[in-house]
Amino acid sequence: MDRQAVLLVAGLADLAVSTLGSAVGSVRGLLRRSDTAELAAEAESELLARGRLVLDRYTAVPPAHLEILARHALDRKAADGV
């Protein structure tokens, strides 16, 4: 069991180091570009849009259940002509 834990931690550490190395290489590549300011502005607008979507998804209050049932009942009455 201890050997398995050590192997798991070693694997996670290796993954973290390789991911960090890739990220550093990507950042270096981005800093060498001449349109870095434009990329940053686009990234900011994308993050703002994503933030709006997340907030809309999780903060939108759904209509009350009884209100929905009442609307369906009114729609049925109107369809039946009552």
Q: Which residues contact 33 (CB under 8 A, 6 or more apart)?
A: 39
Residue 72: its pLDDT value, please?
Answer: 93
- The confidence score (pLDDT) of residue 7 equals 87
AA letter at 24: V
For position 77, what pLDDT does the model report? 92
pLDDT value for 73: 93
Instruction: Provide the residue ranges of all domains of the chain, joining segments of one domain with +.
Output: 1-32, 35-82
Predicted TM-score (pTM) of the model is: 0.39
Block mean pLDDT (10 aa), the chain, length 82: 84 89 82 78 89 82 86 92 70
What pLDDT is recorded for position 82? 64
Dihedral angle of Cα 17, 29, 43, 15, to the nearest 10 degrees = -10
